[in-house]
Amino acid sequence: MKFVHIADMHFDSPFTNLGRIEGLADIRRLEQRKAFKKVIEYISENNIDFLFISGDLYENDYVRQSTIEYINNLFKTIPNTKIYIAPGNHDPYLINSYYMKYNWNKNVHIFNYKLEKIEMDEIDIYGYGFSSFYSEGINLNNINLNEEKNNILIMHADLDASKESGELYNPVSTKELLKFDYVALGHIHKPKYDNKIVYPGSTIAFGFDELGKHGFIAGEINNKEINIEFIPIDEREFVEINFDISEINSKEEMVENIQELKLNKNNLYKINLIGKRNFEINLIEINKLIQNNNILKIKDKSEIKLNLEKIKNENSLRGIYVKLLLNKIEELNNDEEKNKYLKAIEIGLDSLKN
């Protein structure tokens, strides 16, 4: 039995984190379609028996009917493949959702909020879908599996998450899942898998918290023996680069050096400025100067090149100023707030020079 396992397509996502570059969100949505089409083509070319979709196929609040029709038309091109969808927290099985009101192709089966069992000759497939944007989870301990068959579970879930949280996304423990031969999960956007409990990750990357390759899982189960392979299909990667500015003396010089970086034109980059800075960093100004559309973000992680401990002991106005702000920084637990005060020290000291 051959299968493909995907999750977290998020069709019609607004891609709000790509706002710096005009039109890039629309391009990324087209690339999303391209990636999904590649999955379907792989299924067709390799005679795959099953397609498991573990939630968040689309964005309930944004998806258009034309997108649903696009998805379903692709499903029609693989009529011999049985498609099982377990709705997640972004595409729950709601009364007015496309899962309920749309006429899906006959090879598509959508699980709802009651755990369902599909029995076949050699395998039993269990599935569960979200009925709202949150799920308190289900009890899997009382399921009696047929040990002579391959037992598969498909659902969107938060593995080993605390059930004390106010926002629950079907928390489930690893211990509950070990009885199954293959567990097709969704929700976590980074690929995470052993040979049994599997997050394929989002099919394409959505931001800098999803670094690395993205794609889908192709697998085969024979008499409880499982072999799986991760197949990357996203043609872009989100990449972080640390850029040391310790030897740079002006924003102009820094921008020139950033522009000269050898970057892969297909990838999207976040540049982390590190080291000891010799000039004030104004990210708004710098972003306006950057001409490379592959650079989406610049983050200042650099440090002031001044000896603040020495300056605060000076019997001078700048000594008093630095001491007051350093005392305030010591009271803070938030790094972002601390950086704001360090920036205030830098700007203030620069003003006191004049």
Q: Look at residue 180 in the predicted model and tell me its pLDDT.
A: 95
Q: Look at residue 19 in the predicted model and tell me its pLDDT.
A: 64
Domain ranges of the chain: 2-232, 237-305, 306-354
Contact 25, 242 (CB under 8 A): no
**349 token code pair:** 């000291």
Q: Look at residue 345 in the predicted model and tell me its pLDDT.
A: 84
Residue stretches of the chain with pLDDT short of 70: 19-20, 165-166, 353-354
Q: Look at residue 85 in the predicted model and tell me its pLDDT.
A: 98
* Entry field: residues in the chain: 354
As a CATH number, domain 2-232 is: 3.60.21.10
Per-residue pLDDT tens for 243-282? 999 999 899 999 999 999 999 999 999 999 999 988 888 8
Contact partners, residue 25, CB within 8 Å, separation at least 6: 14, 15, 16, 18, 19
Q: Look at residue 342 in the predicted model and tell me its pLDDT.
A: 82
Report the candidate in 305, 131, 153, 312 with the shortest Cα–Cα distance to residue 221.
153
The SS3 of residue 75 is helix
> What amino acid is encoded at 223 in this protein?
N
Q: Look at residue 53 in the predicted model and tell me its pLDDT.
A: 98
